[in-house]
Structure 1
Amino acid sequence: MPRAIKDSVIVITGASSGIGRATALEFAKQRATLLLAARREAALQEVAQECDRLGGKALAVPTDVTIESEVQSLARRAIENFGRLDVWVNNAAVSLFARFEQVPMESFRRVIDTNLFGYIHGARAALPYFREQGSGTLINVSSVVAITGQPYTSPYTISKYAIRGLSDSLRMELYLDNAPDIHVCTVLPASIDTPIFQHAANYTGRKTKALSPVYPAKDVADAIVGLVEKPQREIIVGQAGYLLALEKTVAPDLEERMMARQVDEDHFQDYKPATPTDGNLFEPMQDYTGISGNWLGTGGITTQDVWDLARRAAKVLGIPIY
């Protein structure tokens, strides 16, 4: 049985904004003990203070997840300060927009280093303590693009597919080790209202926006909290994510064409040109530290639009949707 959240020691990477920040606050409301990790110390301290006000206990630990020694140190801080480690949330991520051939190779590697190797470092730091205790929950925040794919974000998409594979492999090894109280859960959010789109590197010449429909970060935070209380192998957040997964399963060619067109038409603000930028790949941005990126309601496609499209596709394919 998982420990009660109020008795749990929880590490969250990427905790200075977006999903990580929202998740920290939801855990704090249940009086969890938190270690908050990200590159931005001032923003982390703000989140820690807010968690303390909500009833939790939070420690800000500036960490670059691409550096394995810093992630190992983060795990040791949990043991040294609180005597145990119950939950590790791998969440730190960066993104990049460009055609595949136009991505600077250094930038391509940086996305993989952060999004994939950051999670590998986290898993390798947490699992030995989980094994020693005989219990623990590793939560890997991937993306629905790990099911559907997406143009213009090939490094990000590759990393999110790989995270899903990492989770699958770890679950299988834990099964072979007869470790039923160590859980590995994968979260697959749809398009979420966070500052990741302001933070993203962009070499397209077109200003980006969140892909419609957009869901609040609290939805993902609530899902992560729910996984600690009741672990599941995988969960999608956002109705559009479930519909895209269905379309990918039953009509992959159609889904890929629809996704390509939607991203090309809705993931950019064509009336706003953008100069090339590395975003926060190599250095953190000091602004955009909130949970929201102010994307809710900015798109032309609503959740109802997605439902309608899915119903029409289902009718053609002879598959009922309820």
Structure 2
Amino acid sequence: MQQGRVVVVTGASGGIGRAAARAFGERGDRVALLARGEKGLKAAAEEVEQAGGEALPVPVDMADHAAVEAAAEKVEGTFGPIDVWVNDAFTSVFARFTDVEPEEFRRVTAVTYLGYVNGTRTALNRMLPRDRGAIVQVGSALAYRGIPLQSAYCGAKHAIQGFTEALRCELLNDKSNVHVTMVQMPGVNTPQFDWVLSRLPRRAQPVPPIYQPEIPARAIVYAADHPRRREYWVGGSTVATLIANKFAPGLLDRYLARTGVKSQQTTQPRDPDQPANLWVPADDPEGQDFGAHGRFDHKAKARSPQLWASQHHGLLGALAVAAATGLGALARNR
């Protein structure tokens, strides 16, 4: 395990990115935090330094490739060559597809998909000449399976999956020592459900089971240390979704049609004054710092046997654990 590396984390001002940045800081890494929200970035940088790392907050919109390049130049000018690049920045809209405006769909795609493309290109521009480095793409079970109310986000995650697979093949063909891997996420207790643009009648929530963001953070750090494996899976529901979508996609369509809308909303009405970070960050100087955790601490899981199986036994191990846990949870939620 290497320590003291130069690590870039995009989307580092909140949620999984925030928890991952802190986890890298705990290893003594020098962590560059890229995101739009300056208030969240400042707080995240303080957490990294309190954990034992060095922090460099860099405000940037990942949809702007030139700005991402400039950010990378600042990182390497301050910390030196980038060893690890973690793509996590995203935005979304909670709504039926017909309620999402074309410019909103375009914006989600520009940040959530093209932001990963921009980050990956910027990382490769520096890593390929040195023939070393690791790129970690933060994915989702929704990279394999679309669900209602998240059409733009699902489309972006599917695109990231295909893009990453194509890139991985090219790197293998070139026998490059630069590696790219993905970490596929389940529902996570992050602030996104209170700052993503929503047109739902009730408050949004992740599809259960829900996990604390520190679990994905540990997975991201592990993936950065072991980037030769193509994917890691966090949570039994993620692996169960992969299995069901592979072998019974029609059945899963009908199941999600029946349960997917209700399971993504609480019984509480949505706050009409809820912030929306689609166009401007919710944690800008006029907003607030949202941190890594959302409002689901009372129900979020702090352990993931599937992650351990994925790390130590690959897909077959994760599938075996999912057969006992994830599929059972899916059945209970029917």
Using structure 2 for the length normalisation, give the TM-score: 0.86
Greater Cα shift, 273-282 or 289-298: 273-282
Match of 1:195 among 191, 195, 200: 191
Q: Does 1:245 align with 2:259?
A: no
- The 5 Å alignment of 1:93-242 reads 93-179=90-176, 181-231=177-227, 232-242=229-239
Secondary structure of 1:89's partner? strand
Distance in 2 between residues matched to 1:275 and 1:103, nearest whole Å: 17
- For residue 262 of structure 1, report the CA deviation from its aligned partner: 2.5
Asked if the contact 2:195–2:274 (Cα under 8 Å) also holds between the matched residues in 1, the reply is no
Distance in 2 between residues matched to 1:222 and 1:273, nearest whole Å: 32
For residue 29 of structure 1, what is the aligned residue in structure 2?
26
Greater Cα shift, 106-115 or 260-269: 260-269
- For residue 218 of structure 1, report the CA deviation from its aligned partner: 0.8
Secondary structure of 2:144's partner? helix
Q: Does 1:292 align with 2:288?
A: no
- For residue 268 of structure 1, report the CA deviation from its aligned partner: 1.1
User: CA distance change for structure 1 residues 250 and 38 in 2, over 3 Å: closer, same or farther?
Assistant: same
Using structure 1 for the length normalisation, give the TM-score: 0.89
Match of 1:15 among 12, 18, 22: 12
What's the Cα RMSD here?
2.2
Greater Cα shift, 253-262 or 242-251: 253-262
Distance in 2 between residues matched to 1:47 and 1:89, nearest whole Å: 15
Q: Does 1:254 align with 2:251?
A: yes
Match of 1:42 among 35, 39, 43: 39
Secondary structure of 1:293's partner? coil
Asked if the contact 2:147–2:260 (Cα under 8 Å) also holds between the matched residues in 1, the reply is yes
Asked if the contact 1:64–1:70 (Cα under 8 Å) also holds between the matched residues in 2, the reply is yes
Match of 1:77 among 66, 74, 77: 74
Distance in 2 between residues matched to 1:207 and 1:50, nearest whole Å: 29
- For residue 311 of structure 1, report the CA deviation from its aligned partner: 7.0
Q: Does 1:64 align with 2:61?
A: yes
Distance in 1 between residues matched to 2:75 and 2:215, nearest whole Å: 27
The share of aligned pairs that are identical, in percent, is 33
Distance in 2 between residues matched to 1:169 and 1:257, nearest whole Å: 31
- For residue 11 of structure 1, report the CA deviation from its aligned partner: 0.3
Secondary structure of 1:7's partner? coil
- For residue 78 of structure 1, report the CA deviation from its aligned partner: 2.2
Asked if the contact 1:6–1:33 (Cα under 8 Å) also holds between the matched residues in 2, the reply is no
Distance in 1 between residues matched to 2:203 and 2:178, nearest whole Å: 42
1:242-261 CA distance string (max 9 Å, x none)? 11111111111112222232
For residue 315 of structure 1, what is the aligned residue in structure 2?
none
Greater Cα shift, 14-23 or 35-44: 35-44
Distance in 2 between residues matched to 1:305 and 1:178, nearest whole Å: 38
1:46-101 CA distance string (max 9 Å, x none)? 11122112111111111111111110011112221222011100100112111111
1:146-181 CA distance string (max 9 Å, x none)? 1121111100000000011111011011122220x2
1:250-295 CA distance string (max 9 Å, x none)? 1111122222323212111244155497711001112352111022
Secondary structure of 1:77's partner? helix
For residue 316 of structure 1, what is the aligned residue in structure 2?
none
User: CA distance change for structure 1 residues 264 and 288 in 2, over 3 Å: closer, same or farther?
Assistant: farther
Distance in 1 between residues matched to 2:128 and 2:328, nearest whole Å: 47
Distance in 2 between residues matched to 1:204 and 1:43, nearest whole Å: 26
Q: Does 1:308 align with 2:304?
A: no
Distance in 1 between residues matched to 2:80 and 2:328, nearest whole Å: 51
Asked if the contact 1:99–1:152 (Cα under 8 Å) also holds between the matched residues in 2, the reply is yes
Asked if the contact 1:210–1:295 (Cα under 8 Å) also holds between the matched residues in 2, the reply is no
Paired AA for residue 291 in structure 1: A
Distance in 1 between residues matched to 2:61 and 2:291, nearest whole Å: 19
Distance in 1 between residues matched to 2:204 and 2:6, nearest whole Å: 37
Paired AA for residue 290 in structure 1: G
Secondary structure of 1:279's partner? coil
